[in-house]
Structure formats: C-alpha cells, structure tokens
C-alpha cells in the first residue's frame, strides 16, 4: 500500500530562489515541489506539498492530516523557534514527523538553535539545502516500513 506524506512549508519559503540565495539556494518552491513529487513517485509515496505564511493555517494543515496521512515532513521555518501551537498540533495528531531545514540551524544565530518542533520529530535534517527534503522522504519511507515490519 502506498504511503501518504504531507510536506508542510512555513513562512517565507514561498520566496525560495529569490531571497538570500547564498543561504537558501536558487531553486524556487515550485521547483522544489516538482523535485519532491518526482522523487516520491520513484519510491512509491504519495505526497501533498503545501506552504503557508500563517501559523494558524499550518496548525489546521496538521490537524486535518490526522487519519489521512502516514507521515509529516515539516519545515516550519521561523515558527520552528517560536510556535507552541504547531508543536501542540503535532503532539495531538501523533503522526510520525521529520523536521527539515534548508540551512544548518545550529550554526546560525543563537535564537535559531532552539527548535520547539524537535520535541515531537523522529529526526531532524538540516544544512543540506533543498536536498534535505529528498533525504526526509527517504527517511520517512524507511521509518514507515520498519514500523509495518514490527506490527
């Protein structure tokens, strides 16, 4: 059975390819979405790829994922460091989650080194640019396969 993964992107990620190219690269969010869709097909995963600049919309995406998606990959961007609401939503739905960041949050400003989401994430992938999303898809598939084997 094909697994379904929700990929959530937080604030300002709609500006990928335009903002701070030295940190975030030149690939646009649409190109990233196409790359993720192509890779997901190659590993037999269905994805929904979404983005919002609004914290409450991200919380709603997470809540609506319950009983629909097998996993969540989230780059909450700036909300990573501040949003108890996103953390609480992830805790409530109990869906396996992988946290992704394009940059290495641990070698940036001090306030970026703290992730509230990490408390619920099975793992964190950061610092590998947009390739981190592909790594997250592969990790999510492997983790879901292991869980099915252990049932």
CB-count exposure of residue 21 (10 Å: 0-12, 13-18, 19+)? exposed
Asked if 69 is an active-site residue, the reply is: no
Using an 8 Å Cβ cutoff, are 81 and 118 in contact? no
Using an 8 Å Cβ cutoff, are 58 and 46 in contact? no
Using an 8 Å Cβ cutoff, are 51 and 9 in contact? yes
Using an 8 Å Cβ cutoff, are 72 and 116 in contact? no
Tokens describing residue 137: 């898809």
The Cα–Cα gap between 115 and 113 comes to 7
Using an 8 Å Cβ cutoff, are 86 and 59 in contact? yes
Asked if 24 is an active-site residue, the reply is: yes
Write out the catalytic residue numbers.
24, 101
């Amino acid at each position: 059975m094909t697994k379904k993964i929700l990929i959530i992107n937080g604030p300002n990620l709609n500006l990928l390819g335009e903002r701070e190219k030295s940190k975030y690269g030149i690939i646009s969010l649409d190109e990233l979405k196409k790359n993720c869709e192509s890779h997901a097909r190659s590993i037999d995963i269905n994805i929904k790829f979404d983005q919002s600049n609004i914290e409450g919309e991200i919380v709603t995406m997470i809540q609506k994922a319950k009983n629909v998606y097998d996993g969540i990959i989230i780059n909450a961007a700036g909300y990573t460091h501040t949003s108890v609401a996103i953390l609480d939503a992830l805790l409530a739905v109990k869906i396996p989650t992988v946290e992704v960041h394009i940059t290495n949050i641990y070698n940036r400003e001090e306030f970026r080194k703290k992730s509230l989401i990490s408390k619920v994430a099975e793992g964190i992938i950061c610092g590998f640019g947009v390739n981190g999303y592909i790594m997250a898809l592969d990790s999510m598939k492997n983790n879901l396969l292991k869980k099915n084997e252990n049932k």
